[in-house]
Amino acid sequence: MSIVKKRRYQMESKDEALQVVVRGTDVLNEPLLNKGTAFSLEEREELGLRGLVPPRVVGFEAQVARVLENYHRKTDPLEKFIFLTSLHDRNETLYYKVLMENLMEMTPIVYTPVVGAACQQYGHIYRKNRGMYISHHDRGHVREMFNNWNQEEIDIIVVSDGSRILGLGDLGANGMGIPIGKLALYVAGGGIFPCKTLPILLDTGTNNKELLNDALYLGVDEERIEDDEYYALVDEFVLAVQDRWPKALIQWEDFTNNHAFPLLEKYRDKVLSFNDDIQGTGAVALSGLLGAMRIKGEKLAEQRIIFYGAGSAAVGIADMIVAGIVEESGMSEEEARKLFWLLDSQGLVVKNGPRALQAHKIPYARDDKHIDNLMEVIKTVKPTIIVGVSGQGQTFTEDIIKEMYAHVKQPVIFALSNPTTKSECTAEQAYQWTEGNVIFASGSPFDPVRLDGKIYIPGQGNNMFIFPGVGLGASICQSRKVTDGMFYIAAKTLAHIVTDEELALGTVYPDLTKIRLISVTIATAVCRLAFDSGLAGIDEPDDIFKYVEERMYQPEYPRYVAAEEN
């Protein structure tokens, strides 16, 4: 099936009809075209739909009401995920209309924490394909395979190899739920056009024995390939993307540390790309800490910061905070890093520890003696900030938090591991164990906490605050690359959006319902930086904000007419 006028044509002129070359059930079976009961009588006649849908023409409001009525009948979060996925596969415009109007309620279903459970069960709940799967058996054919995708323009590709899904580990091809979910947030939060997004799963095998023994697992049922073969496949993938969709931004998602850092370093200056786990997580955490400093009336350079976890997320966050400290205080990077203590599975990251350090940890390795547990590090350091990125649930115990609270009147505790079951502590625990005197944020959402007659609003360090705006800005201005400076400016922009009223409630992030404003504001800042740095591929418009805003997708049904036959 082909569409004569691509969906992007709607962006250029919403008043003209969209011409299609399909008729009848083929229209209804294409989620980008399907309106369901909203097709007008004229469209039904023009496109051969008479008799194929109920006779009454029903508008958006009634369709949304019907979806919500059925959605709220579901009590199990995974069933809600499956219901929304089915809507996504049936009517893409209606799906985004519902999602955008119910963002606070549905984001935890579409993405964290429920997407984690969906990935674990992916082969068991699979309904219909979305996106592309590329396995190592496809070596030599990737560019040819991309011809099977019938969109000529792609703005954003989110790609994962399923090796480190959230805090759940190696889920192989089941990890496709992550690129799909991230791109849904790109559309809803960042205004990328749905037809210009593409989720991709690089299936390089899995070492998850449970999946290899699962008859319903849909990926390659082999153990993961070695690095030489692995990097050869990734190289072929990148070159094929550049040839097929030269303007596409590639977002690396949920790769293990041993691949995440090398891939980022290899391609960051050659290809329009970034790693959200490293750079996006770093930016959103820095923004939250800037908000925490506003609450406390202190400076980042005055803090002592412990990271529980020393993987890609930890180093990405630490690097971003270092950049903030350098700008704020004039310290050198080396001096700023002395404010950090990172712990991995062996304990404190030190230069003469029990084993050789991975390259990304070396800049934060200390000259201190090795300490093998978090409690002793806290007693020694007396941190003002602790950031959890360990993927280990309930590791910020009552004793740990109370020990920290004994030395700091208002500790900053960021329990950022996803999904909720992997959070280092809950919001309720953090507030109870500090008598409400904590600035808390988490990776997955927690409900407000009532304690001693007060209500505390925990912040959620959701990467959705950052990556849609960065991706939108870099794509719209056709930047040649995505720089760390773009993420730094995104973090500062997000921090400035948080109101004094929100800070007074103890939350360090803005209301997620403002995500469209947040994204266009961040995209504007990213574009301005690209123009100033000579990275943009277009001429600078007079009003960048307006230029970006006018090019954001809105879930509206266009008018359809049948294309004239050649």
> Residue 398, exposed/middle/buried by CB under 10 A (0-12, 13-18, 19+)?
exposed
- CA 278: distance to chain centroid? 11
**Residue 532: Cβ within 10 Å count:** 11
Q: Is it true that the peptide bond before 113 is cis, omega within 30 degrees of 0? A: yes
pLDDT at 480: 97
pLDDT at res. 2: 37
The backbone torsions φ and ψ at residue 139, rounded to the nearest 5 degrees and listed phi first, read -50, 135
Q: Beta 439-442 vs 459-460: how paired, if at all?
A: parallel
The Cα 348–Cα 83 span in angstroms is 45
Nearest to 111 by CA among 66, 30, 165: 165
Catalytic residue among 71, 96, 111, 405: 111
DSSP 396-452: S-HHHHHHHHTT-SS-EEEE--SSGGG-SS-HHHHHHHTTT--EEEESS----EEET
Residue with the bigger pLDDT between 505 and 516: it is: 516
The structure tokens listed for 429 are 């625990």
End-to-end CA distance of the chain: 16
Residue 213 tokens read as 């023994």
Q: What is the pTM of this model?
A: 0.93
Query: Which residue, 497, 439, 440, is CA-closest to 465?
Result: 497
Helix 484-497 crosses helix 281-296 at what angle (to 10 degrees)?
A: 40
CA distances from 135 to 132, 158, 171, 205, 299 (A): 10, 16, 15, 8, 48
Q: Return the C-alpha torsion angle 352, 353, 355, 357, nearest 10.
A: -70
Q: Is 10 a residue whose pLDDT tops 70?
A: no
Taken in order of first residue, the domains within the chain and their CATH numbers are 59-255 (3.40.50.10380), 279-461 (3.40.50.720), 465-549 (3.40.50.10380)
| Strand, helix or coil for residue 122 | helix
Q: What is the average pLDDT across 422-430?
A: 96
Mean pLDDT, residues 309-323 taken together:
93
User: How buried is 231 (Cβ within 10 angstroms: 0-12 exposed, 13-18 middle, 19+ buried)?
Assistant: middle
Distance CA 219, CA 460 (A): 33
User: How many Cα atoms are found within 13 Å in the side-chain-facing hemisphere of 70?
Assistant: 13
Question: Mean pLDDT across the stretch 481-488?
Answer: 96
Taking residues 320-346, what's their average pLDDT?
95
Give me the amino acid identity at 202: L
Q: Which helix (H) or strand (E) holds 20?
A: strand 18-20
14 tagged catalytic: no
- The token pair that represents 491 in the structure block: 């973090």
CA distance 471 to 155: 9
Tokens of 376: 């002793």
- Please state, in angstroms and rounded to a whole number, the distance separating the CA atoms of residues 176 and 201: 6
- Summarised one tens digit per residue, pLDDT across range 62-78 is 999 999 999 999 999 99
On whether the CB atoms of residues 560 and 33 are closer than 8 A, the answer is yes
Q: Is 171 strand, coil or helix?
A: coil
What local confidence, expressed as pLDDT, does residue 506 receive?
87
Query: With 70 as the cut, is the pLDDT of residue 185 above it?
Result: yes
User: Mean of the per-residue pLDDT values for the chain?
Assistant: 94
Confidence label for 9 from pLDDT (cuts 50, 70 and 90): very low
Distances (CA, A) of 525 to 84, 212, 222, 493: 33, 46, 45, 8
Q: Which residues does 215 contact at the CB level (< 8 Å), separation at least 6?
A: none
The verdict on whether 231 is a catalytic residue reads no
- Cβ atoms of 88 and 95 within 8 Å: the answer is yes
pLDDT digits (tens, 9 = 90+) for 443-459: 988 999 999 999 999 99
Catalytic residue (one of 5, 80, 97, 182): 182
Q: Which residue's structure tokens are 């999602």?
A: 99
Query: How confident is the model over 238-260, as a mean pLDDT?
Result: 97
Q: What is the pLDDT of residue 11?
A: 37
Distance in angstroms (rounded) separating the CA atoms of residues 269 and 481: 6
pLDDT of residue 195: 93
> φ, ψ for residue 306 (rounded to 5)?
-105, 135
Token representation of residue 433: 């164990």
Percent of the chain clearing pLDDT 70 (strictly above):
97
Considering only CA atoms, which of 443, 459, 437 is closest in space to residue 507? 459
Q: How far apart are CA 226 and CA 489, in angstroms?
A: 38
Instruction: Write down the pLDDT at residue 50.
Output: 96
Report the pLDDT value the prediction gives residue 14, as an integer from 0 to 100: 55
- Whether the pLDDT of residue 266 is over 60: the answer is yes
CA distance 518 to 127: 34
Position 6 pLDDT exceeds 80: no
Q: How far is CA 39 from CA 11, 26, 348, 530, 557, in A?
A: 20, 14, 62, 42, 9
* pLDDT tens digits for range 70-109: 999 999 999 999 999 999 999 999 999 999 999 999 999 9
Provide the 8-state DSSP code for 202: E
pLDDT tens digits for 14-64? 567 788 888 999 999 999 999 999 999 999 999 999 999 999 999 999 999
Contact status, residue 350 vs residue 368, Cβ threshold 8 Å:
yes
Average pLDDT over residues 130-149: 97
Q: Is the pLDDT of residue 12 over 70?
A: no
What would the pLDDT profile of 338-394 be if each residue is shown by its tens digit?
A: 999 999 999 999 998 888 898 899 999 999 999 999 999 999 999 999 999 999 999
Provide the b/e sequence for 441-477 (b: ≥16 CB within 10 Å): bbbbbbeebeeeeeebbbbbbbbbbbbbbbbbbbbbb
- Reply yes or no: is the peptide bond before residue 383 cis, omega within 30 of 0: no
d(CA 519, CA 13): 23
